[in-house]
């Protein structure tokens, strides 16, 4: 133990001081990707596509039909494993990853009392939310990127560099294929950000991260159930997961069919706006 080794204490003025936003974001990202739970979920996401690839090799070509999973219906294309993995993982596992990130970001920090540390630093409420949004975005991007990376690698190993084949029967060059996977990653990231925005909004209202995860996943499952009923078709365009399954194969058509993707992106953007505005409204009025 030593004596206090401070430099000269600066005088108080009415000048506002803020820590650089980049430093906050960096600290946030460092914190997120050191959380064991986050790492486990990301690792599971990353090994999903290779597992699918191995299954295809072991099981041989499956019963081909238009309604089969993408990597069965188009087993000979290197694109089918990354895009098919997205189709399957979007139904639960990818949203789980961002819901957890959104839950930990505010409710989780609040529950261990660490949020106060930043609030008295001080980090203003608006900046705090911005940093948290960056963090959730980082998780979404890394999760989607990992699936795409291991998926495309698996697909290329199984089908060769000349195996980037579309559902329309055309063969794409590597750059074109990479571009499509990039588009898929961007689109999936946006959808996940929408999930994360809702999670953040709920996260600002509670101290129980598990409650946030449960509500977000519960909402997704209810949405997916509702989208099954034709009689509720008027409601379907309001449901975030609408089109999650159908969108990915659009990237495997030649030319790319953008209408479903565009509609899904707009829907996700609406959810982001709603989620973040509610989260902001709550975080600026909440007691720290």
- Binding flag, residue 34, another protein (CB under 8 A): yes
- Binding flag, residue 55, another protein (CB under 8 A): no
Per CB under 8 A, the list member of 56, 74, 90, 143 interacting with another protein is: 74
Window 264-283: contact mask with another protein (x via CB under 8 A):
--xx-xxxxxx-xxx-xxx-
Query: 2 or 175: whose CB is closer to another protein?
Result: 2
- Binding flag, residue 60, another protein (CB under 8 A): no
- Binding flag, residue 222, another protein (CB under 8 A): no
Q: How far apart are CA 89 and CA 180, in angstroms?
A: 18
- Binding flag, residue 56, another protein (CB under 8 A): no
- Binding flag, residue 50, another protein (CB under 8 A): no
Which residues ranging from 190 to 209 are in contact with another protein (CB under 8 A)? Answer: none
Which residues ranging from 91 to 150 are in contact with another protein (CB under 8 A)? Answer: 112-125
Query: 60 or 67: whose CB is closer to another protein?
Result: 67
Q: How far apart are CA 184 and CA 166, in angstroms?
A: 14
- DSSP secondary-structure letter at 230? G
Distances (CA, A) of 37 to 41, 42, 108, 243: 6, 9, 13, 29
Binding-site size for another protein (CB under 8 A) equals 94
Which range touches another protein (CB under 8 A), out of 29-37, 93-101, 136-144, 209-217? 29-37
- Binding flag, residue 43, another protein (CB under 8 A): no
- Least distance from C-beta 140 to another protein, angstroms? 18
- Binding flag, residue 6, another protein (CB under 8 A): yes
Q: Strand, helix or coil at 2?
A: coil
- Least distance from C-beta 150 to another protein, angstroms? 20
- Binding flag, residue 66, another protein (CB under 8 A): yes
Q: How far apart are CA 184 and CA 176, in angstroms?
A: 12
**What sign results for the dihedral spanned by CA atoms 116, 122, 126, 131?**
negative
């Amino acid at each position: 133990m030593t004596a206090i080794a401070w430099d000269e204490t600066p005088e108080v003025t009415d000048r506002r001081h803020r820590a650089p936003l980049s430093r906050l974001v960096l600290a946030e990202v460092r914190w997120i990707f050191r959380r064991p739970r986050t790492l486990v979920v990301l690792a599971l996401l990353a090994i999903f596509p290779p597992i699918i690839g191995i299954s295809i090799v072991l099981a041989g070509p499956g019963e081909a039909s238009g309604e089969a999973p993408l990597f069965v219906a188009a087993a000979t294309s290197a694109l089918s494993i990354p895009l098919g993995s997205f189709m399957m993982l979007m139904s639960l596992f990818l949203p789980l990853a961002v819901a957890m990130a959104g839950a930990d970001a505010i409710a989780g920090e609040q529950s261990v009392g660490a949020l106060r540390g930043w609030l008295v630093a001080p980090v203003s409420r608006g900046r705090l939310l911005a940093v948290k949004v960056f963090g959730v975005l980082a998780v979404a991007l890394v999760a989607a990127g990992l699936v795409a990376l291991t998926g495309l690698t698996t697909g290329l190993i199984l089908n060769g560099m000349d195996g980037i084949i579309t559902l329309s029967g055309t063969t794409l060059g590597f750059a074109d294929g990479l571009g499509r996977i990039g588009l898929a990653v961007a689109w999936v990231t946006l959808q996940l950000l929408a999930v994360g925005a809702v999670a953040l909004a709920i996260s600002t209202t509670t101290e129980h991260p598990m409650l946030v995860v449960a509500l977000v996943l519960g909402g997704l499952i209810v949405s997916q159930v509702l989208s099954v009923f034709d009689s509720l078709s008027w409601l379907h365009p309001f449901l975030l997961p609408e089109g999650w399954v159908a969108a990915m194969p659009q990237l495997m058509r030649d030319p790319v069919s953008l209408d479903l993707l565009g509609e899904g992106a707009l829907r996700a953007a609406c959810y982001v706006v709603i989620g973040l505005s509610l989260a902001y409204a709550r975080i600026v009025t909440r007691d720290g």
